[in-house]
Chain A
């Protein structure tokens, strides 16, 4: 299993990975579940602010409590997997913030990351801790799902402390079936890569480099002494900037609004996930498995699984959160593979905007020759929920009769956008695998197939 094939961040069992859960990626997601989690995150602080207003300091201390979630193994500490976390310390920081700024109290928080700009003691690692603590229940469910998918052994009754029960905003401890980190002997939680970045999109260094300069006096802007490092200057400046941001929220507001406007540039990113040697090794493995897998019903499940791994390799993070065997609402039908389309540019964004759905469907047919029924079935799945464009992943290029059927489905669609079915054969998959292994985008090949179809049906 390599990072390029899976939907989660593969943890380093012995040391923290220098990345963070970025709540902004929840905020801007097309997946309503993720947006709901962002609301939950803000809801915790909204509740905390209300408790402050009500003078209930004891409840506030209990609620604003985010110890580091070692189980996810994220952090910026140099070694090991135990950073400081926030714990009770954040209570004091939040109380200090609320006591010192009427403006912030009145405005509330639009993003948890704003705390980095309003409090000296909060950095990107702490934002990640806050998010991980609040999302822990979701991460547990996600870990169990991925463990089943990738056959990662689960241990029964692994203790998990301090997870949020959103029904009553209570922190609880419990036991869950989870993988165990063999190094630490503790629970291991997997995090979807679609919510992970190297630094939060809204962060102090960025604020300092742009809007914050308006808050600082003319030269010299920052205290300095010979040999002072840039990091140290930033640190010293933060105390001054935080104070000014609290007093003049317009500048701070301007920064947050700009980041929201530019949110399309905020993409999930992992360090070194495009390393050439790793990409080539994964590509070779996927290509070999595809070539050796025979068509036929006997290996249909294996083929579907392989298609899932290949599509992850090709299109993550633009198409992300892929799910196998997704049932419809009433359970009457199953779609083989469904991805969330989180693309911000080019072909996949066009698909989402033109075909009216944040989801992309791939039907897998492990047959030597596609039949008309396969195309009819796929066409029947296309509609309001899944959008009007879908893919059939199969073993060989479509025959002329199949192509004609696809054209007629397009032409017979009663309204715009018309139904589009694109066929991805083994040859297409191999071409795209090669593109990805060479560091190029396989998206252009899928785009070429789409263009060819649209030109033919003119």
Chain B
């Protein structure tokens, strides 16, 4: 696995955690309220990048990470939280799988 993937994975994990946390906060109070177009746009950008990173991986749940297509009705908060949770978990599985391979790159970064 190339060092580029290490950095990308770290970047996406951070971005996914941020978006997930914010939408999850809304979900606690207003799970059925539609999310804003901006939330959909940011979520779709994240999903696109995750798909790109994981495209050669054999994860059975990647096909669930499709872009949200509002088509006139914004999705409910709880649905977006579910999608983001799947995305976060896919990133975690990916990270765990290549943890051993990435260790040298991480050590290099840290100056060991």
Contacts and interface: CB of A to CB of B under 8 A. Distances in A.
Interface string B63-74: 000110111110
A442 to B, nearest CB: 14
B73 A346 contact: yes
A443 B76 CA distance: 17
A349 B71 CA distance: 9
A458 B66 contact: yes
Interface residues of A, number: 13
Contact of B71 (A345, A347, A458): A347
Interface size bucket, B side? under 10
Contacts, number: 28
A345 B69 contact: no
A452 to B, nearest CB: 9
Contacts of B73: 346-347, 447
A392 interface: no
Contacts of A346: 72-73
Main secondary structure of the interface of B (DSSP, over half): loop
Nearest to B67: A458
A455 interface: yes
A348 interface: yes
Contacts of A351: 72
Interface string A444-456: 0001001100110
A368 B67 CA distance: 33
Contacts of B70: 350
A345 B72 CA distance: 7
A454 B72 contact: no
A41 to B, nearest CB: 32
Contacts of A447: 71-73
Interface in A333-354: 345-351
B67 A350 contact: no
A455 B72 contact: no
A329 to B, nearest CB: 30
B67 A450 contact: no
Contacts of A451: 69, 71
Contacts of B66: 455, 458
A289 to B, nearest CB: 30
A174 B23 CA distance: 67
A350 B71 CA distance: 6
Nearest to B44: A458
Interface in B64-108: 66-67, 69-73
A120 B72 CA distance: 43
A23 to B, nearest CB: 28
Contacts of A450: 69, 71
B63 to A, nearest CB: 9
Contacts of B72: 345-351, 447
Contacts of A455: 66-67, 69
Contacts of A458: 48, 66-67
* B48, B70, B72, B73, most chain A CB atoms within 10 A: B72
A351 B72 CA distance: 8
Contacts of B69: 450-451, 454-455
A36 to B, nearest CB: 29
A387 to B, nearest CB: 15
Nearest to A446: B71
Interface in A404-458: 447, 450-451, 454-455, 458
Interface string B39-52: 00000000010000
A66 B105 CA distance: 87
* B66, B67, B71, B73, most chain A CB atoms within 10 A: B71
Nearest to B48: A458
A345 B70 CA distance: 12
Nearest to B51: A458
A358 to B, nearest CB: 15
Nearest to B66: A455
Nearest to A345: B72
Nearest to A458: B67
B9 to A, nearest CB: 21
Contacts of B48: 458
B31 to A, nearest CB: 19
Contacts of A345: 72
Interface string B6-19: 00000000000000
* B48, B66, B73, most chain A CB atoms within 10 A: B73
A351 B69 CA distance: 13
22 contacts: A345-B72, A346-B72, A346-B73, A347-B71, A347-B72, A347-B73, A349-B72, A350-B70, A350-B72, A351-B72, A447-B72, A447-B73, A450-B69, A450-B71, A451-B69, A451-B71, A454-B67, A454-B69, A455-B66, A455-B69, A458-B48, A458-B66
The 8 closest A-B pairs by CB, nearest first: A350-B72, A455-B66, A347-B72, A451-B69, A454-B69, A346-B72, A447-B71, A450-B71
Interface of A: 345-351, 447, 450-451, 454-455, 458
Given A447-B71, A455-B66, 12 more contacts: A346-B72, A346-B73, A347-B71, A347-B72, A348-B72, A350-B71, A447-B72, A451-B71, A454-B67, A454-B69, A454-B71, A458-B66
